[in-house]
């Protein structure tokens, strides 16, 4: 199955609907535009395996680029809209992109991007000038190019622990654009998504991330309609489920927290009866949060653990999770290995570095050292997460290896503390980091976003801090109790749930340096 086939059999069936505006593109229209874009890529000198970059907000045209690239055999490089001009220019150079497609929404950084990457051709959506994307696309024919071949997507790591790194996938074994995609099997047999074209898939996150681009493309391959939110808002998401009769969706734990912080009236206002499968991933979900979501939505909340690298995947359905609270599931793609510092596998129940064994593994683009660092001597690969399996083979995540705090010689994993904090009814979000400390090496710092900053305005947060300390004390060892609470109106978090802890750590490291000077 493929959008090409759906365009032939059901050309008028909606392929994409923008949740807010209602703007729609049918499979027939998407097929014609993707053909035009494949011609446009060839006209601009891009052959198979050449890269082009995309810096776009969530908009319907994104799918023209995705499916056009899948015909032209090119490497699509999605760029986070959160990045600065120098960071974007770095990705353009590192990926060897020959073309950048963006929109007028990014005019504030486009000038600096041009200066930093003068050799990269640019097309701009809505520009109305010589670089206008719609004009360039409209000049191309709607029939297929002669040398159609499957394209690829090269995702860049979010840069939460350093400079973004390109994850270069292995070329597809079958170059036919209509060849079966491995994710289709995981979607249908693992997640239970329907293959009869009845799916209505809600995509609430930015399309430049791995999960939204991967799962929504899979929905298209299965003949489903993608309802894409321009930007996530919890009540708007519930309204979209009701309005468009959504059957399937994909979330991150941060979305769940936002849902549960809604007033009960707003939560109960919408008809969610069509909603049959709700996938979530990207970060460990606090047990109380997930329990509350299953109680609300029913046993449709299914979780998976994977990464942009595509080296493996686990899956757990609600019924399994309720008997193994906190698990992220059992492997459905790749074989799990949990290894200690010496590289030897550890027994069930013991934390270690999580590796996946797989026949096809990616590399980090132009970074053999990072690739080697992620590899086990036996050829397995890790995403850098710490966790353990239980006696039944279910995997549990402890935290990212890079997030570990060493305070007074004790290893502390922030995720445990963060999960407790966000379950408090006055906390919207929380990040726990290690900050330099002359006595302990590192001290535990909790950076907290209250549900309302008015909670901390009267006394600088002293009352809320004490309330949180009292809340944590019975559940947390003293060594893990934050030494400092820092209250802020928001945290540097990506819309896909990834927290930019590096920014917070760098900030506190700079403060420590200034204090010592």
* pLDDT at res. 408: 83
Mean pLDDT of the chain: 93
E strand or H helix at 315, and its extent?
strand 313-316
What's the average model confidence in pLDDT over 345-351? Answer: 97
Q: Rounded to the nearest 10 degrees, what angle do helices 414-422 and 462-472 cross at?
A: 110
Q: What is the 3-state secondary structure (H, E, C) of 121-142?
A: EEEEECCCCCCEHHHHHHCCCC
Higher pLDDT residue, 515 or 289? 289
pLDDT tens column, 50-84: 999 999 999 999 999 999 999 999 999 999 998 88
**Cα 291 to Cα 348: distance, rounded to the nearest angstrom:** 25
CB-based contact 437:407 (threshold 8 Å): yes
Asked if residue 456 has pLDDT above 90, the reply is yes
What's the average model confidence in pLDDT over 142-164? Answer: 85
CB-based contact 446:485 (threshold 8 Å): yes
* pLDDT at res. 498: 76
Q: Provide the sign of the torsion angle of the four alpha carbons 489, 491, 494, 497, taken in this order.
A: negative
If you search the block for the tokens 């209509």, which residue do you land on? 178
Higher pLDDT residue, 158 or 219? 219
Higher pLDDT residue, 514 or 289? 289
Q: Tell me the fold of 3-9+23-172.
A: Rossmann fold (3.40.50)
Asked if residue 95 has pLDDT above 70, the reply is yes
* pLDDT at res. 183: 80
- Sorting pLDDT into bands at 50, 70 and 90, what band is 138? very high
**Cα 234 to Cα 224: distance, rounded to the nearest angstrom:** 23
If you search the block for the tokens 């970074």, which residue do you land on? 367
Q: Provide the sign of the torsion angle of the four alpha carbons 166, 248, 206, 52, taken in this order.
A: positive
Sheet holding 200-203, edge to edge: 24-26, 14-18, 225-228, 200-203, 248-251, 277-280, 301-305, 313-316, 330-333
The residues spanned by each domain of the chain are: 3-9+23-172, 404-516
- Sorting pLDDT into bands at 50, 70 and 90, what band is 162? low
- Sorting pLDDT into bands at 50, 70 and 90, what band is 440? confident
Count of other CB atoms within 10 angstroms of residue 72: 29
What are phi and psi for residue 392, nearest 5 degrees? -90, 0
E strand or H helix at 294, and its extent?
helix 287-297
What are phi and psi for residue 433, nearest 5 degrees? -130, 165
Architecture of domain 404-516 in this structure: 2-Layer Sandwich (3.30)
For 167-261, where are the alpha helices, taking DSSP H only?
182-185, 210-221, 234-244, 253-260
pLDDT tens column, 168-192: 888 887 888 888 877 888 888 888 9
Please report, rounded to a whole number, the percentage of residues in the chain having pLDDT higher than 90. 81
Half-sphere exposure of 371 (CA within 13 A, CB side): 13
Asked if residue 438 has pLDDT above 90, the reply is no
Please report, rounded to a whole number, the percentage of residues in the chain having pLDDT higher than 70. 98
What's the average model confidence in pLDDT over 16-26? Answer: 98
Count of other CB atoms within 10 angstroms of residue 114: 14
* pLDDT at res. 272: 98
**Cα 227 to Cα 209: distance, rounded to the nearest angstrom:** 16
The first and second tokens of residue 446, run together, are 């909790």
The answer to which of 26-40, 151-165, 194-208, 280-294 has the lowest mean pLDDT is 151-165
- Sorting pLDDT into bands at 50, 70 and 90, what band is 402? confident
What's the average model confidence in pLDDT over 383-405? Answer: 93
CB-based contact 415:397 (threshold 8 Å): yes
* pLDDT at res. 517: 52
Helices and strands (H and E) in the chain: how many: 18, 26
Higher pLDDT residue, 112 or 161? 112
Count of other CB atoms within 10 angstroms of residue 138: 11
């Amino acid at each position: 199955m493929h959008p090409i086939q759906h365009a032939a059999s059901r050309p008028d069936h909606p392929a994409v609907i923008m949740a807010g505006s209602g703007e729609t593109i049918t499979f027939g229209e998407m097929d014609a535009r993707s053909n035009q874009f494949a011609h446009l890529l060839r006209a601009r000198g891009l052959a198979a395996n050449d890269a082009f970059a995309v810096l776009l907000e969530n908009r319907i045209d994104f799918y023209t680029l995705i499916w056009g690239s899948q015909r032209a055999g090119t490497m699509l490089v999605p760029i986070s809209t959160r990045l600065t001009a120098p960071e974007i220019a770095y990705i353009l150079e590192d990926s060897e992109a020959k073309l950048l497609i963006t929109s007028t929404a990014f005019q504030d950084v486009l000038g600096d991007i041009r200066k930093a990457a003068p050799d990269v051709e640019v097309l701009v959506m809505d520009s109305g000038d010589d670089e206008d994307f719609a004009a360039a696309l409209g000049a191309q024919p709607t029939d297929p190019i002669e040398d159609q071949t499957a394209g690829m997507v090269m995702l860049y790591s979010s840069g939460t622990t350093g400079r973004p790194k390109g994850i270069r996938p292995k070329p597809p074994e079958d170059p036919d654009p209509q060849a079966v995609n491995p994710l289709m099997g995981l979607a249908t047999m693992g997640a239970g998504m329907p293959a009869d074209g009845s799916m209505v898939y809600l995509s609430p996150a930015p399309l430049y991330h791995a999960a939204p681009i991967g799962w929504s493309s899979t929905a298209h391959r299965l003949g489903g309609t993608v309802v894409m939110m321009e930007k996530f808002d919890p009540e708007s998401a519930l309204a979209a489920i009701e309005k468009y009769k959504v059957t399937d969706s994909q979330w991150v734990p941060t979305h769940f927290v936002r849902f549960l912080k809604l007033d009960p009236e707003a939560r109960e206002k919408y008809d969610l009866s069509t909603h049959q499968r709700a996938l979530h991933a990207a970060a460990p979900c606090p047990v109380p949060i997930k329990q509350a979501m299953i109680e609300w939505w029913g046993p449709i909340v299914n979780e998976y653990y994977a990464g942009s690298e595509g080296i493996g995947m686990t899956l757990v359905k609600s019924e399994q999770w309720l008997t193994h609270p906190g698990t992220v599931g059992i492997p459905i793609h790749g074989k799990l290995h949990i290894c200690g510092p010496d590289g030897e596998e550890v027994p069930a129940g013991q934390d270690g570095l999580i590796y996946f064994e797989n026949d096809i593994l990616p590399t980090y683009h132009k970074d053999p050292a990072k690739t080697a660092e992620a590899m086990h001597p036996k050829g397995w690969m890790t995403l850098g997460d710490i966790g353990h399996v239980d006696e039944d083979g279910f995997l549990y995540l402890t935290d990212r290896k890079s997030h570990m705090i060493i305070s007074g010689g004790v290893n502390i994993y922030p995720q445990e503390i963060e999960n407790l904090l966000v379950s408090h009814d006055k906390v919207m979000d929380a990040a726990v980091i290690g900050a330099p400390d002359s006595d302990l090496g590192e001290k535990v710092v909790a950076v907290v976003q209250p549900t309302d900053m008015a909670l901390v305005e009267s006394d600088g947060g002293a009352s809320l801090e004490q309330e949180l300390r009292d809340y944590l004390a019975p559940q947390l060892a003293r060594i893990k109790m934050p030494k400092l609470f820092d209250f802020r109106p928001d945290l540097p978090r990506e819309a896909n749930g990834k927290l930019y802890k590096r920014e917070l750590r760098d900030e506190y490291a700079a403060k420590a340096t200034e204090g010592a000077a």
